[in-house]
Chain A
Amino acid sequence: MIPVIHTLNIVLPILYLVTFLTYVYDFVEDKSLFRNAKRLFLFITILIQVFYLFARTIEFNHPPITNKFEIFTVLAFSLACCYFVLELITDIRGTGIFILFLSLVFQIISTIFIQDLVSVPEVLRNRMLGMHVISALLGYSGITISAVQSLLYLMLYHSLKTKKYGLIFNRLPNIEILEKLSFNSMIIGFILLTISIFIGIVWLPEAFPNFSYYDPKLITTALIWVLYSIGILLKLTSNLYGRKFVNFSIAGFIIALFSLILGNVLSSSFHTFY
């Protein structure tokens, strides 16, 4: 199994690169040959990565969340997966390159630095922890995609306001759609983040004797959750729309990112594994 895992570790960034390039080609060219094929490339890449992640879990007897570089491949996967679901639901294919670029970068870093860890702390072998981390990663992928869609909204808005009718104007869907995509991604991210928090609250006190509700990571995650729930509520009550909403989405993502970094830097609690 290990040779297969090593081969897939090399193959995955290549697959991401090919998928990314097909999305780029289709974005730049009118009536490209890859209009439908690019989705197939993405599907195959996701499928192979699912196999790769399962193979690692079985072979090393722990979910691939025990170090940063395992997390990176899961992050690449969750971003691609969230985008794929979004593309299938909405059939809007013009924003893929901006999201798959992130997946490509994460996968390349992972491929270069990932190691075959067999001996890891016992707690990291726990399936509940796996579900907790993976749902958190998928949740953060959702809000990342929401922020990317919001950024594209602002780019198109700028293009329309300054009357620069170039590639952005020609290839991106309209700003209403981008706002909708951003909101849908936020909803997906929020639901998964909620699941992750729920699993964490139920399971963590049992697993860690030194569990504390004042853990910085717990507090920042809770604050992020509250922030997004307020945003979603305002959006649903039509008080937050258009540019205000996309600005909120980008600000929310930046706050979430810095909170996570700060939480990790300041924290030396039970919530730190590597």
Chain B
Amino acid sequence: MNIILVSINHKTAPIEIREALHLSNNEIVDFIGILKQNYLLEGLILTTCNRTEILGIPKNTILIHDKIIDELINFKSVTGIKKEHFTSYFSCSAVKHFFSVAGGIDSLIIGDSQILAQVKEAVQISEENKFVSYYLNRLFDTAIRVGKRSIKETIIGEGAVSISYAAVQVVEKVFANLYTKSALIIGAGETAELAAIHLRNKGVGRITITNRTKAKAEKLADKIHGEIIPFEFFKEYLHNYDIILSATSSNGYILEYTDIKEMMKKRRYSAVCIMDIAIPRDINPITSNLDNVFYNDIDSLKMIVDQNIKKREKEIPVIENIIMEEMVNFFSWYNSLDVIPAIKNLRSFFEQIKEDELNKIRHKVTEEDFVKIEEMSKRLIGRLLHNPTLKLRQLSENGRNYEETANSILLIKEIFNLNLEDK
């Protein structure tokens, strides 16, 4: 199969190069136009923060990976990019790589939950730009199935693989009904925002933001439908919160042991989760000695992340098996496409013989007899070809018996000396 794929990803190029070649949705549409015009019959462009992949069926049999790479570099007008930053795939290897991407095992974070949605979006853009037809449609459907099966049949997407999500995982091990709990987020930077979003998605009842710059706190509070309290007074309200998550860029501790001890006293020592995900730390780690204080910092949360990554890595062989199964199915289907031209050629071959023989006797028999002979030869060919046609059609319909199909077609080609046209 004439599928080609060029890929630049986290394994082949540093982030600044990947960023330089990242395509926006509008750029994808424009670049599809160039590919359609010059190189590919049909194809797809997948671009994420970690990869840009171009897959397609070339217009002719010449390998055009390098041309597509040059075209992409020219299109983005970037310099300093080498061919070594790209990997090229052809046929089976292209399909396998694409399925690995869709299955999440080629991602920077194995089992990345975003990738399947990104593949679907890329397929949609190709469809909208009429860049997909019969063959790649089937390939894309299969790739999406690989992604879905990976999520459903394995634990590749389970467990926290980011610090902020690991913090939420610990919170869930302490509290049962998060909607009855309240959380205080100290800081309004990127990490704090991510953690706040995770907590909101998990259904935490009340989320309050406090930050030195009030405007930033307000912005984040708006985004997650939370509240704010002034940074100057937040210590006075600590006891109202079951979850305290701190992610500021402060150089020293903003919460000391005595602050937490006082807070616990006010809370009548009911459990509290303290997640210090700042570097350097915001909360004195000695607070973890207090009863019912579940304190975690980046190091302890990273242990959870590492553990989950190892678990995900163990699933890779299972997903590789899924990919292999789907590849066998896909190529069986593809190879079974030979059946239809084979049936057509076989019928034409017999029709031709019939026509030749009828022409030979056309003037040797009466008109009435010729009609009878013509009808008889038509019936004869029909009956002779009935079983072979039926059998080949059956093979074509189920698309599973690749070897049997290929052998049957080969035999027919050889014994009748047929030349099948390419698909």
Q: State which of B173, B269, B311 has its C-beta within 8 Å of the C-beta of A169.
A: B173
B174 in contact with A160 (CB, 8 Å): yes
B249 at the binding interface (Cβ < 8 Å): no
**Majority secondary structure of chain A interface residues (helix, strand, loop or mixed):** helix
When C-beta atoms are compared, the residue in chain A nearest to B307 turns out to be A165
Indicate if B93 sits at the interface (CB-CB under 8 A).
no
Nearest CB of chain B from residue A144's CB, rounded to whole Å: 23
**Stretch binding the partner chain, chosen from A17-25, A97-105, A172-180:** A172-180
The count of residues in chain A whose C-beta lies closer than 8 Å to any C-beta of chain B is: 17
The answer to whether A31 and B294 touch (CB under 8 A), given A160-B174, A175-B174, A176-B176, is no
Residue of B nearest to A31 (CB): B155
Asked if residues B303 and A165 are in contact (CB atoms below 8 Å), the reply is yes
Chain A residue at smallest Cβ distance from B154: A31
Interchain nearest-CB distance for B39 vs A (Å): 43
Interface centre among B173, B269, B296 (most CB of A within 10 A): B173
| B90–chain A nearest beta-carbon distance, Å | 36
Complex: A243 Cα to B268 Cα, angstroms: 13
B68 CB-CB contact with A under 8 Å? no
On whether the beta carbons of B270 and A241 are closer than 8 Å, the reply is yes
- Please give, as numbers and ranges, the residues of chain B lying within 8 Å of A175 by CB-CB distance: 173-174, 271
Q: Please indicate the chain B residues that have their CB under 8 angstroms from the CB of A161 in the complex.
A: 288, 294
- Min Cβ gap B180→A in Å is 10
The answer to whether A176 touches B175 (Cβ under 8 A) is yes
- Cα–Cα, bound, A160→B274 (Å): 12
Decide: B291 and A180 in contact? CB cutoff 8 A: no
Instruction: Identify which of residues 269-294 in chain B touch chain A, using a CB-to-CB cut-off of 8 Å.
Output: 269-271, 288, 291-292, 294
CA gap between A241 and B268 in the complex, in Å: 10
A-B contacts, CB under 8 A, total: 42
A242-B300 in contact (CB<8A) = no
Residues of A close to B158: CB separation below 8 A? 30
Query: Which single member of A30, A169, A174, A242 contacts B270 (CB below 8 Å)?
Result: A242
Is there contact, CB below 8 Å, between A174 and B307? no
Partner of A174, one of B175, B291, B292, B296: B175
0/1 interface trace, chain B 288-332, chain A, CB 8 Å (1 if under): 100110101000100110010001000000000000000000000
Q: Chain B's nearest CB lies how many Å from the CB of A15? A: 30
Question: Within 8 Å CB of B174, what residues of A?
Answer: 160, 174-176
Closest beta carbon of chain A to B355's beta carbon, Å? 63
Residue of B nearest to A178 (CB): B176
Of the candidates B291, B303, B307, which one forms a contact with A243 in the assembled complex, judged by CB atoms under 8 Å apart?
B291
A160 is contacted by which of B154, B177, B294, B303 (Cβ under 8 Å)? B294
- State A242–B311 Cα separation when bound (angstroms): 32
CB distance from B273 to the nearest CB of A (A): 9
A177 touches B176 (CB 8 A): yes
Within 174-208 of B, Cβ neighbours of A (below 8 Å) are at: 174-177
B172 contacts which chain A residues (CB < 8 A)? 174
B161 CB to closest chain A CB (Å) equals 14
Q: Judging by beta carbons under 8 Å apart, are B303 and A156 in contact?
A: no
A173–B172 alpha-carbon span in the complex (Å):
9
The answer to the question of B170 belonging to the interface, with a C-beta cut-off of 8 Å to chain A, is yes
How close is A221's CB to chain B, nearest CB, in angstroms?
Answer: 33
Residues of the B chain whose Cβ atoms lie less than 8 Å from the Cβ of A174: 172-176
Proximity string of chain B (374-390) to chain A, C-beta cutoff 8 Å, 1 when within and 0 when not: 00000000000000000
Contact of A163 among B177, B291, B300 (CB under 8 A): B300
- Smallest distance from the beta carbon of B37 to chain A beta carbons, Å? 48
Q: Which residues of B are found within 8 Å of A180, using beta-carbon distances? A: 176
Chain A 123-153 per-residue mask, 1 if CB under 8 angstroms from chain B, else 0: 0000000000000000000000000000000
Residues of B near A30 (CB, < 8 A) are 155, 158, 311
Contacts of A169 in B (CB 8 A): 173
Residues of A within 8 Å of B270, CB to CB, are 241-242
A169, B300: Cα distance in complex, Å: 13
- Which residues 132-182 of B have a CB within 8 angstroms of A? 154-155, 158, 170, 172-177
Given the complex of chains A and B, what is the CA–CA distance between A165 and B301 in angstroms?
9
B294's nearest neighbour on chain A, judged by CB, is A160
Report B307 CB to chain A, min CB distance, Å: 6
Chain A residues within 8 Å of B288, by CB:
161
Cα distance A243–B300 when bound, in Å? 23
With the chains together, A165 CA to B306 CA distance in Å?
A: 11
Which residue from A31, A165, A176, A242 sits with its C-beta under 8 Å from B304? Answer: A165
Q: Which residues of A contact B300 (CB under 8 A)?
A: 163
Which of A163, A173, A177, A242 is within 8 Å of B271, CB to CB?
A242
Q: Which residues of the partner chain B approach A241 to less than 8 Å between Cβ atoms?
A: 270
28 A-B residue pairs with Cβ-Cβ distance under 8 Å, sorted by A, are: A30-B155, A30-B158, A31-B155, A156-B173, A160-B173, A160-B174, A161-B288, A161-B294, A163-B296, A163-B300, A163-B303, A165-B303, A165-B304, A173-B176, A174-B172, A174-B174, A174-B175, A174-B176, A175-B173, A175-B174, A175-B271, A176-B175, A176-B176, A176-B271, A180-B176, A242-B270, A242-B271, A243-B292
Extra contacts, 18 of them, besides A31-B154, A176-B271, A242-B270 (Cβ < 8 A), are: A30-B155, A30-B311, A31-B155, A160-B170, A161-B288, A161-B294, A163-B296, A165-B303, A165-B304, A174-B172, A174-B174, A174-B176, A175-B173, A175-B271, A176-B174, A177-B176, A180-B176, A242-B292
Q: Which 9 interchain pairs have the tightest Cβ spacing?
A: A176-B176, A163-B300, A174-B173, A177-B176, A30-B155, A160-B294, A165-B304, A174-B176, A176-B175
